[in-house]
């Protein structure tokens, strides 16, 4: 099957993960607010899913394709990219309601912020499709899709739901409608299909870098959990007994328990 068809499938997979972010607005169709406790649990769930996907999906696959000496530099590069990107945009706070009114310079900055947060997740999806129509896996629309690709697409999609909730909470306070909350949530993850296509094309045309590519995606995601998701959860749970740590740990355990069986299917 030609490269264009493969790139199209990878883009669709990345777009599905972006659409999943919009599901985070669904609770606000039913209730006026999401409690701090549930907010912490959801961030914990997302963290557990990301860590499990990185350790039992990307890193194990990287080690199967190469050696520790190839995977670890990739992980370091993934962490470094996110760290540098965060320093470049540090102190910038942009709200989705500002998107419609953005001038060109502000739009570039907005896209930069979104890319830092969503691009590494798209890279993880793209790298997981490296053996598309090459190795074994389930048949999907005439494609032979690697099980790792299915696993990562599901993992990132589930992980994106709490992110959608986090985006929707301030929008609810500003009186934004439910459907518009869902749209802005999806918009925040649009760099993911782009990252997926770029990563897939790179590892497909330069397969000697595949182990490092797996490490890169894993390092970036694990760092995002440590530097963003956990602090976000603890901030949301600051007024809960124990600072929300029990809810965070419980959510993380649930995320790991949910994803580990899928990794060994």
Name the domain count of the chain: 1
- Helix intervals (H) in 23-67: 27-30, 36-53, 60-65
CA distance 56 to 177: 39
What pLDDT was estimated at residue 108? 54
CA distance 252 to 156: 15
Which DSSP category does 244 fall into?
G
CA distance 73 to 55: 16
What pLDDT was estimated at residue 95? 56
Q: Which of 7, 227, 252, 237 is nearest to 117 (CA)?
A: 227
pLDDT digits (tens, 9 = 90+) for 171-185: 776 777 888 888 888
Confidence bin at 97 (pLDDT 50/70/90): low
**What helix, strand, coil percent values describe the chain, rounded to 5?**
80, 0, 15
Confidence bin at 219 (pLDDT 50/70/90): very high
CA distance 104 to 82: 24
Count Cβ atoms below 10 Å from residue 201 Cβ, excluding itself: 15
- Give residue 156's domain range: 3-263
Strand blocks (E) in the chain: 139-140, 143-144
Helix (H) or strand (E) holding 180: helix 178-188
On the 0-12 / 13-18 / 19+ scale of CB atoms within 10 A, 167 is buried
What pLDDT was estimated at residue 70? 93
CA distance 130 to 57: 13
pLDDT digits (tens, 9 = 90+) for 226-248: 888 898 889 888 889 999 999 99
Token representation of residue 28: 């606000």
Return mean pLDDT, the chain: 84
pLDDT digits (tens, 9 = 90+) for 131-173: 888 877 888 888 889 888 988 999 899 888 888 887 787 677 6
pLDDT digits (tens, 9 = 90+) for 17-33: 999 999 988 888 887 77
- % of residues, the chain, pLDDT over 70: 86
Token representation of residue 59: 């890193």
Confidence bin at 3 (pLDDT 50/70/90): confident
- The answer to whether residue 129 scores a pLDDT higher than 90 is yes
CA distance 68 to 63: 6
- % of residues, the chain, pLDDT over 90: 27
- The answer to whether residue 1 scores a pLDDT higher than 80 is no
pLDDT digits (tens, 9 = 90+) for 54-79: 898 899 889 988 899 999 999 999 89
What pLDDT was estimated at residue 198? 93
- Bigger pLDDT: 241 or 90? 241
CA distance 232 to 4: 39
CA distance 54 to 46: 12
Distance of CA 74 to the CA centre of its chain: 18
What pLDDT was estimated at residue 125? 93
């Amino acid at each position: 099957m030609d490269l264009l068809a493969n790139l199209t499938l990878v883009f669709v997979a990345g777009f599905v993960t972006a659409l999943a972010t919009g599901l985070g607005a669904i609770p606000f169709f039913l209730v006026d607010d999401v409690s701090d406790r549930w907010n912490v649990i959801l961030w914990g769930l997302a963290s557990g899913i990301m860590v499990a996907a990185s350790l039992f999906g990307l890193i194990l696959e990287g080690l199967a394709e190469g050696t520790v000496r190839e995977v670890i530099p990739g992980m370091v590069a993934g962490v470094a990219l996110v760290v540098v990107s965060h320093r470049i945009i540090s102190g910038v706070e942009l709200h989705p309601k500002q998107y419609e009114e953005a001038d060109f310079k502000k739009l570039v900055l907005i896209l930069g912020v979104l890319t830092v947060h969503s691009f590494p997740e798209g890279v993880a999806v793209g790298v997981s499709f490296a053996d598309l129509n090459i190795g074994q896996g389930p048949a999907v629309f005439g494609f032979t899709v690697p099980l790792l690709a299915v696993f990562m697409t599901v993992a990132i999609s589930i992980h994106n739901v709490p992110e959608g909730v986090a985006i929707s909470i301030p929008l609810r306070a500003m009186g934004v409608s439910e459907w518009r909350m869902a749209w802005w949530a999806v918009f925040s993850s649009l760099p993911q299909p782009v990252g997926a296509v770029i990563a897939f094309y790179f590892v497909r045309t330069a397969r000697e870098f595949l182990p490092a590519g797996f490490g890169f995606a894993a390092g970036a995601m694990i760092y995002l959990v440590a530097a963003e998701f956990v602090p976000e959860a603890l901030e949301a749970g600051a007024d809960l007994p124990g600072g929300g740590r029990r809810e965070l740990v419980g959510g993380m355990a649930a995320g790991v328990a949910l994803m580990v069986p899928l990794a060994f299917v």
